[in-house]
Structure 1
């Protein structure tokens, strides 16, 4: 623990010198690869489904990464707070792409079917609710929104990330034909990170 505490400030010092734009650039590299893989028929026998899956999983990973920032600060004294917004926005970008692939390539804009599918299939309902929860967070991620809403209101609004990430984990588990260790690990991480964060909020 002492070693971690000693290393933390060094990492934090290096992080302070870095701009945030490389996080966006590197974060979008997987999207570029997926586009290339789709165009060159490298996504298997069901490329649309694979593309949906990979984009959704990337969204969940970035969302979980954004929720790891505070525990890293509290437990390891590693301050990466300046990158939290970038990770959160990348999560929303990938989730939007995930939804658009389903909307455009899978259901091909058959609006009646789209509504029916979301209502009929619980895993789609759960995923869509998580998507709707994250949209206002992305829309209010700029500094002007904090001034207009007020810090307290803005903070309460952005707590929607907690149910959203759990719903994202549940969506991942439910969409699997059989429960996999991977999907259960992601759900456990989501629940664990949210539970830890809510414990801190109550203490405040």
Structure 2
């Protein structure tokens, strides 16, 4: 039983990092439960609960995918220890998302199946959930040993298409306002840029991270423009021009998803620069001694 307690490390000791992450992933569910108990979920409480759990499933999946890049950029090895917990929390929220949807339809299985068949975004969502179930069931150390590291890694690479399906499901059900899906898509794009740079052995220096942040922010703005242009027929130029409103009005409310993606990338670049500077200090301190020894 001790091995399943999420706040303990592999040696059975309480980990502050694991405990903090566990409480944070539990917090949205507690807030939703409190709002339900006090009647603050509006006129359609089940619908609101369905949307909130689905949104948090996507957000936590994004955070899960951020673990490996941030571990490299920040040189924070212990961060990898919370990835499994984050992944299982994604499955928990996604499962709650489906369960609440079934409750909202009064467990009318005929109606539920017909809705899934008729609506493309529900087919996409169910497919993403099936992928999460497969990943969750094979997340244990025992499954890694049974499958072998290579086969296990090949299966768990499905997390990337699952993320794409989740984002598509989120965008399609959002209909007109796709601000949140576009923001999460941009952040996912930023994480994929980090992975591609690492794959091609490009050093993740602060300057490289700054360029990646600005380029991904621009790409996010263009994706938002394209979505509204094709989905609603809105003027592509006016939508893209809205990204410049922050300069005109100097109002935080004018920040678009592209801005937030760029700011997130710049914040990571700044943290990477601080980490690199701290890592360089001991080397600089040893240089005079090394130089003296050489003389």
TM-score band by shorter chain is: 0.7 to 0.9
Tell me what 1:117 maps to. 115
Tell me what 2:85 maps to. 86
Computing the radius of gyration over CA atoms, which structure comes out larger, 1 or 2?
A: 2
Residue 71 to residue 19, structure 1, CA distance change in 2 (3 Å):
closer
Tell me what 2:44 maps to. 46
Find 1:170's aligned residue among 160, 168, 171: 168
Output the CA distance in 2 between the equivalents of 1:90 and 1:148. Answer: 24
Tell me what 1:98 maps to. 97
Find 2:188's aligned residue among 163, 176, 190: 190
Residue 128 to residue 194, structure 1, CA distance change in 2 (3 Å):
farther
Tell me what 1:10 maps to. none
Compute the TM-score of the two structures, normalised by the length of structure 2. Answer: 0.59
Output the CA distance in 2 between the equivalents of 1:149 and 1:17. Answer: 29
How do residues 147-162 of structure 1 correspond to structure 2 at under 5 angstroms? Answer: 147-162=145-160
If asked which structure has higher relative contact order (CA below 8 Å, sep 6+), I would say 1
- Tell me the secondary structure at the aligned position of residue 20 of structure 1: helix
Output the CA distance in 2 between the equivalents of 1:175 and 1:54. Answer: 13
Output the CA distance in 2 between the equivalents of 1:109 and 1:37. Answer: 23
For residues 56-88 of structure 1, the C-alpha deviation after alignment (integer angstroms, 9 at most, x for no partner) is 111111110010011112223233111111111
Output the CA distance in 2 between the equivalents of 1:23 and 1:171. Answer: 26
Output the CA distance in 1 between the equivalents of 2:129 and 2:197. Answer: 25
For residues 111-139 of structure 1, the C-alpha deviation after alignment (integer angstroms, 9 at most, x for no partner) is 11111111111111111110000101111
Q: What RMSD over aligned residues (CA atoms) do the two structures have, in Å?
A: 2.1
Structure 1 residue runs without a partner (length 5+): 1-15
Offset at residue 160 of structure 1 (A): 1.1
- Tell me the secondary structure at the aligned position of residue 41 of structure 1: coil
Q: Does 1:181 align with 2:185?
A: no
Output the CA distance in 1 between the equivalents of 2:189 and 2:119. Answer: 23
Output the CA distance in 2 between the equivalents of 1:167 and 1:199. Answer: 24
Output the CA distance in 1 between the equivalents of 2:94 and 2:197. Answer: 28
